[in-house]
Amino acid sequence: MLIDIHSHILPGVDDGARSNTEALDMLRMAIDGGVTTQVLTPHIHTGRFNNNKKDLEQRFIQFRDAADKANIQVNLQLGAEVRIGPEIMALVNSDQIPWLGEYQGRKTFLLEFPRNDIPFGSDNLVKWLLAKNCLPIIVHPERNRTFLTQRHKLQTFIDLGCPLQVTASSLTGKFGKDVQKMSEELLEANQVSAIASDCHNLKGRMPDLHLGIAAAKNIISKKSIEFTMDTTKKLITAVDKI
């Protein structure tokens, strides 16, 4: 069993797959790499990708039918990658986030920080989310310049209980040596709850979870990998399946 909790395969909703054809080919590539459960996590980024839950659910059902018709055998689930910002409070209050699952009594979702900085008050927003019984999974912290250069700022979120998701391509060195080193260090410190592809297309940002797992196996023990995969599975336990 191999679960990929982060992908931009759902077509036409963000900067990921542009067509059904491309999306189905991405699914086939993921399956070739051993993926058995693929979570589709479009961006929800107010002002850039104004996706809402109802539309995403409709598109998800259409795409799942298309995959069925194409005889593609994989378990598909819907989630979202939500950009950090005050808008999240309204999304949570109006139940507009397609939850990834439920973990330790809290609803989980992927939380994205900007490329460079950590917006002021992010820790307070996470505390607010926790009080609302929501558990944000911080995606690719190794790709954020501030987390990369001031690691104690990431520790704040680890201490609050946020699971971390490292991107497969970070472990294979696609984003440079610094990013690779940080993702390796997080793995070695047992601070990684999931490795995911965050795939966007067929070239450049393709479904490559198996390559990330292979890289991880060179760094940590088989037992630690299994522990990470087991945690991943728990994070996506579906709450309300579509």
Which residues are at the interface with Fe ion (CB under 5 A)? 81, 198
Nearer to Fe ion, 117 or 188 (CB): 117
Closest CA to 98 of 112, 120, 82, 87: 82
- 3-state SS class at 194: strand
Nearer to Fe ion, 48 or 217 (CB): 48
Smallest separation (angstroms) from Fe ion to the CB of 222: 28
Nearer to Fe ion, 49 or 227 (CB): 49
Q: Directed axis angle between helix 209-217 and helix 222-235, to 10°?
A: 140
Smallest distance, Å, CB 81 to Fe ion? 5
Shortest Å distance, C-beta 242 to Fe ion: 20
Distance CA 171, CA 62 (A): 33
Residue with smaller CB distance to Fe ion, 65 or 175? 175
Phi-psi region of 132 (alpha: psi -120 to 50; beta: other; left: phi over 0): alpha
Of 8 and 107, the one with the shorter C-beta distance to Fe ion is: 8
Q: Whole-angstrom Cα distance, residue 6 to residue 9?
A: 9
Please report, in angstroms and rounded to a whole number, the separation of the first and last CA atoms in the chain: 21
From the CB of 70, what's the least distance to Fe ion, in Å? Answer: 24
Least gap, CB of 8 to Fe ion (angstroms) = 6
Q: What residues have CB less than 8 Å from 240, skipping those under 6 apart?
A: 99
Which residue's CB comes closest to Fe ion? Answer: 198
Query: With respect to Fe ion, which residue has the nearer C-beta, 25 or 81?
Result: 81
Q: How far is the CB of 71 from Fe ion (least distance, A)?
A: 27
- Name the nearest CA neighbour of 164 among 45, 6, 43: 6
Residue recorded with tokens 């760094």:
219
